[in-house]
């Protein structure tokens, strides 16, 4: 059996994939130890063969399976099956592969070679219920768990797979409703932007009032879309205007290396200025 099995469920953009990567880094010392499979790519009939390899005589037989090859290369890993519902109903045979992994801890590829998952953590993610559970619900966690149970027991009729996952391993993710938490997400996304400006233009990006700026950013994000829309808002509200400001001053940039760009939140837009040393 795998070392562990988790089922992350919740709205989009709340960190299910990011947590999987962080878990891989914590357990195996490398974020690349998280091997992600986008399940929307396995929705077509027979596409499950891509995981274990095409049968003898078919195109791709010599290449082996994407999943089995990955485990051969990195047996110590987090295997992430992202948005499982996108493949489960249109291609139910893929659930047989999951069941074998969870029950036996091994798979045999198309070449007859057996790979073992005994050193792996298996994580499924899902957006099930995102359109049904209200962001303002007082019991969104309980609602998400019940939706997952109903999905396996009634919609795909595979209660045995739910049994292998285990009720206690269903981890619901809540909507991002707290403004302070949203601001922390926006702040974390600022760091690579600042580093990019420093590396490309040798200038330091500063804010007259960073808290006011972060509130300005998150006010334009849709909380139903989670952290992903916070990043979109950051791009829309900062990067586009900053790029235009730098373009307008392109002839002076070489002379301004080593200085600071200050950002101030105006009534309707951001204002930028250079501060020379």
Which percentage of the chain shows pLDDT scores above 70?
96
Residue-wise pLDDT for 211-223, tens only, equals 999 999 888 888 7
Per-residue pLDDT band at 275 (split at 50, 70, 90): confident
Q: Summarize pLDDT for 73-101 with one digit per residue, the tens.
A: 999 999 999 999 999 888 888 999 999 99
Q: With DSSP H G I counted as helix, E B as strand and the rest as coil, what are the percentages for the chain, rounded to 5?
A: 50, 15, 30
Locate the DSSP E strands across the chain. 4-9, 34-38, 78-82, 106-108, 114-116, 121-126, 170-172, 204-207, 260-265, 270-275
Distance between CA atoms of residues 44 and 42, nearest Å: 6
In the chain, what are the domains? 4-172 (3.40.50.300), 179-275 (1.10.8.60)
Cα 93 from chain centre:
25
What is the helix (H) or strand (E) element at residue 149, kind and residue range? helix 140-150
Task: Give 67's contacts (C-beta < 8 A, 6+ positions apart).
Answer: 37, 51, 52, 79, 97, 107
Q: What angle do CA 153, 158, 161 make, to 5 degrees?
A: 110
What pLDDT digit, counting tens, does each position of 27-85 carry? 999 999 999 999 999 888 778 888 887 666 666 666 778 999 999 999 999 999 999 99
| pLDDT at position 23 over 70 | yes
Separation CA 77–CA 32 (nearest Å):
9
H/E stretch holding 132: none
CA angle, residues 225, 229, 233, in degrees to nearest 5: 150
Answer whether 0.95 is exceeded by the pTM: no
């Amino acid at each position: 059996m795998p070392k562990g099995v988790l089922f992350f469920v919740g709205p989009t953009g709340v960190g299910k994939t990011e947590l999987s990567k962080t878990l891989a880094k914590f357990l195996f010392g490398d974020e690349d130890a998280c091997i992600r499979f986008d399940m929307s790519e396995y929705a077509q009939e027979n596409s499950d063969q891509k995981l274990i390899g095409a049968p003898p005589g078919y195109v791709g037989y010599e290449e082996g399976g994407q999943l089995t090859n990955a485990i051969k290369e990195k047996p110590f890993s987090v295997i992430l099956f992202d948005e499982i519902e996108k493949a489960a109903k249109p291609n139910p045979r893929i659930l047989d592969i999951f069941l074998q992994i969870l029950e036996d801890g091994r798979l045999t590829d198309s070449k007859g070679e057996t790979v073992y998952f005994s050193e792996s953590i298996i994580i499924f993610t899902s957006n099930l219920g995102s359109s049904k559970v209200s962001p303002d619900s007082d019991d969104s966690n309980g609602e998400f768990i019940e939706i997952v149970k109903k999905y396996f027991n009634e919609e795909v009729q595979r209660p045995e797979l739910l049994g292998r996952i285990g009720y206690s391993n269903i981890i619901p993710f809540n909507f991002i409703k707290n403004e302070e938490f949203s601001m922390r997400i926006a702040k974390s996304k600022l760091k690579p932007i600042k580093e990019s400006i420093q590396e490309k233009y040798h200038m330091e990006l500063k804010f007259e009032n960073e808290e006011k700026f972060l509130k300005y950013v998150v006010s334009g994000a849709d909380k139903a879309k989670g952290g992903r829309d916070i990043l979109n808002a950051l791009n829309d509200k900062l990067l586009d205007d900053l790029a235009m400001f730098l373009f307008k001053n392109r002839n002076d940039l070489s002379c301004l290396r080593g200085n600071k760009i200050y950002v101030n939140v105006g009534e309707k837009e951001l204002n930028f200025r250079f501060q020379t040393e």
